[in-house]
Structure 1
Amino acid sequence: MKKLIFTALFSVFSTFNLSAQMSDASISKLYQNYIIIKDALVTDNSDGASKAANDFIKSASMVDYKVMSEGNLDVLRKDASTIAESRSIETQRESFAKLSENMVAVAKNFKLSNDSVFVLYCPMADATWLSAEKTIKNPFYGKSMLTCGSVKKELK
């Protein structure tokens, strides 16, 4: 039920004003901050994830509404705010799963990087995440299950 509601909420991402795979520096900055959140969760660093989520929120404020709608940015900011405000790594990881699903939608519509972006999947969390590398470093379980997961897709 939770995934159904979430999917319905984020079907809004299919209504971008720009054509698929457009490049925008502000969207690339969002992705860079997202990767820092992911890396902090991989190392079980709750404080680092919180700080990176605050940076993500600041980056989201720099995205022009002509590039991405205010509603879509609000959803991303909401997910990141939960990570920023929480000191519980478990809560941060739950919100990261939502943020990741939404960032995967962004990745399908924008070129996030000049390099490949990988969509990885954790069967234990039943969640995907984005990575700049093919090597599995699981943000949902950190050190306890660092290499759990698989590559679902490579976005070039």
Structure 2
Amino acid sequence: MKKIFLIVAIIATSFVQYGFAQTDHADHQTQPVALLPLYYNIKDALVSGDAKLAASKAQEFVKGVNSTDSKVINENSKKGLLEHAVKLAKSKDLKSEREHFAGLSTSMITLAKTSKLSAEPVYQMYCPMKKSNWLSSEKAVKNPYYGSAMLTCGNVVETIK
């Protein structure tokens, strides 16, 4: 009887360890989730009109993209994200940062539509004055392209789930 109990315990332990190994692997594949909050930090800095903070947050975003496994985000997507994020990170001019944010947003929207970036809904916003989109975690419009000058200019064009 003790031998049977011991064998069952060993088998059960093996399955539990295998289950944890699979969970860790699954977490590794959800890496792009971390990019969305980094993107939102850039957006929020631009909404507040803080060029220095936007550049700093863009540097964090670049590090996040570079540390993401190419199995999770393909090289073309990485290239598109980094093209504008690097320029935004190097800029000290708010107007220039907002221009690069438009390109970064285009790449992020593409990524959001092809990968699950969030358990929560992601809202694609559109600014008719800038003719550009951006992503937001909330339905309330806070325009990163014009900040306080036209804070509520724009609307939700799609909800990405």
Same fold (TM over 0.5): yes
Counterpart of 1:29 in structure 2 is 34
Inter-partner Cα distance in structure 2 for 1:134 and 1:124:
19
Count of matched residue positions in the alignment of Structure 1 and Structure 2: 134
**Higher relative contact order, chain-length normalized (CA < 8 Å, sep 6+):** 1
Counterpart of 2:147 in structure 1 is 142
Counterpart of 1:108 in structure 2 is 113
Mapped pair 1:87 → 2:92:
yes
The amino acid that maps onto 1:52 is K
The amino acid that maps onto 1:140 is Y
| 1:94-141 deviations in Å (ceiling 9; x for gaps) | 000000011000010111111110000000000000000000000000
Inter-partner Cα distance in structure 2 for 1:148 and 1:24:
36
Q: CA deviation at 1:77?
A: 1.1
The amino acid that maps onto 2:47 is V
Q: Whose Rg is larger?
A: 2
Match of 1:57 among 58, 62, 75: 62
1 or 2, which has the higher helix percentage? 2
Q: In terms of mean alpha carbon deviation, does 130-139 or 57-66 score higher? A: 57-66
Inter-partner Cα distance in structure 1 for 2:29 and 2:121:
16
Inter-partner Cα distance in structure 2 for 1:152 and 1:142:
19
Secondary structure in 1 aligned to 2:111?
helix
Which runs of 5 or more structure 2 residues have no equivalent in the other structure?
1-27
